[in-house]
Copies of this chain bind each other. A is one copy, B any other.
Amino acid sequence: MNYREMNPSQLASELEGLRKKYEDYKALGLKLDMSRGKPDSEQLDLSQGMLNIVSDPAECVSENGFDCRNYGLMDGIPESKRLFSELLDIPADNMIVCGNSSLNLMYDAVARAMIYGVYTKNGCKPWFGQNVKFICPVPGYDRHFGICESLGIGMINVDMTETGPDMDAVEALVADDASIKGIWVVPKYSNPCGTTCSDETVRRLAGLKPAAPDFRIFWDNAYIIHDIYEKSDPLLNLFTEAARMGNPDMPLIFFSTSKITFPGAGVALVAASDNNINQFKSVMKYQTIGFDKLNQIRHVKFFKNAGRIREHMKLHAALLRPKFDAVLAAFERELKPVGVGEWFAPRGGYFISLNLPDGTARRTFDLCNGLGLKLTDAGATFPYGKDPLDRNLRIAPSYPALPELEKASAVLCLCAKIAAVEKALAC
């Protein structure tokens, strides 16, 4: 029976039963973690062969004869650019292949804009000292918001929809306010919503007419090939679309193999127009002599071509699918009948976004915590950690083993129900 249809005494009785179950779980002394989008060890094992694929000195030489063990080649070895060019359909010359962290590239891109500004045809003007704001589609990725918060950049919430950010709101904001200089977008299998930008959304983003000449789209393509099911969400290529719309300099595109090979030892890249790449390099040459090219060559030798990367992702999908299925099944079984929560079943990525009844996300989080289940902090999917409706939780099913995940899902559903009934009784 749906909680909304229960009278207070039915709710009180339900709560009593739920609390008894809660005490039973408490006695188990569980220690569960659904907090971060970390691959599990079986997923990591898939790339194990990469670790000794470069061993002899001759294997350390890139195709242009450069010894990858030594200094140099700041923008990456040519074969790694070609591999990722094929995968992302962006010209190799428009890429800088770097170290292990695309987050670091995003932070650096924003920090660089703060210190030096970004390319415009009238030069670069540092953002530091200006009133700078970013549009933050919500719920979104906490670490994007963290970069803005750390650098003193204001954040404006815009709702995520099933086709990406609410483009009516985005268009109106950027047209109106020259202090808005950026937007964060996880275009495919977004963190945490799991949704993908529709063709229309990509085209509207590509065709934005921002008041700020130094406006940039921070396009975090973290999950571009991270399908879980057979059918992949299609995604238009923002690099191409923006050029077509006369906005070639607007997108800054980020990608990494963190969730393809190793989160701790993958390869990350930034891709952008010639103007952007040239400005990046003009600063980066002071920053480093070069990134870890041996790790780049490992990736190239392990995968050889984009098709092999896509095949590899099917092995990840086979491990992830049952986990997503288990969480979604628990929601269907436990939450749907009582009318608690809304969620979207993503076809890829690493997260499920769970919207609970207003005002119960924090309480649910705390209750889970009390049973030893660690979740991403309530509010984390919003700027400054403040979910205005206190309703969103980000669920990360990838890391726990399946039996643990099933326990964790049951705990989460129980806690969500307790919070919902408490809330209903308090109203």
Which residues of A are at the interface with B, using a C-beta cutoff of 8 A? Answer: 36, 38-39, 41, 44-45, 47-48, 51-52, 54-57, 60, 67-72, 99-101, 103-104, 107-108, 111, 114-115, 126, 128-129, 143, 146-147, 149-151, 258, 262-265, 283, 285-295
Contacts and interface: CB of A to CB of B under 8 A. Distances in A.
Nearest to A55: B52
Given A111-B111, A111-B115, A264-B69, A288 B104 contact: yes
A127 to B, nearest CB: 11
Contacts of A265: 68-69, 292-295
Given A262-B294, A288-B107, A283 B41 contact: no
A150 B72 CA distance: 19
A358 B87 CA distance: 55
Interface of A, helix, strand, loop or mixed by DSSP = loop
Contacts of A45: 57
A373 to B, nearest CB: 19
Contacts of A149: 286
30 contacts: A39-B70, A41-B70, A48-B57, A51-B54, A51-B55, A69-B263, A71-B258, A71-B263, A72-B264, A99-B99, A99-B100, A99-B291, A99-B292, A107-B286, A107-B288, A111-B115, A115-B128, A128-B129, A143-B289, A146-B285, A146-B286, A147-B286, A150-B283, A150-B286, A264-B291, A264-B292, A264-B293, A265-B294, A292-B295, A295-B295
A45 B151 CA distance: 43
Contacts of A286: 107, 143, 146-147, 149-150
Nearest to A36: B71
Contacts of A39: 70
A108 B289 CA distance: 14
Most B C-beta atoms less than 10 A away, residue of A114, A150, A264: A264
B51 A294 contact: yes
A104 B264 CA distance: 18
A67 B38 CA distance: 11
A351 to B, nearest CB: 14
B70 A104 contact: no
A67 to B, nearest CB: 6
Nearest to A53: B52
Given A38-B71, A100-B292, A146-B286, 13 more contacts: A36-B71, A47-B69, A48-B55, A51-B60, A52-B52, A68-B265, A69-B264, A69-B265, A71-B264, A99-B99, A108-B287, A115-B151, A264-B293
Kindly name the residue among A56, A128, A289 whose own CB sees the greatest number of chain B CB atoms within 10 A.
A289
A103 B51 CA distance: 26
A150 B48 CA distance: 40
Nearest to A56: B48
A215 to B, nearest CB: 21
A362 to B, nearest CB: 23
A41 B67 contact: yes
Contact of A69 (B44, B147, B293): B44
Residue from A51, A54, A294 with most neighbouring chain B CB atoms (10 Å)? A51
B293 A101 contact: no
Nearest to A47: B69
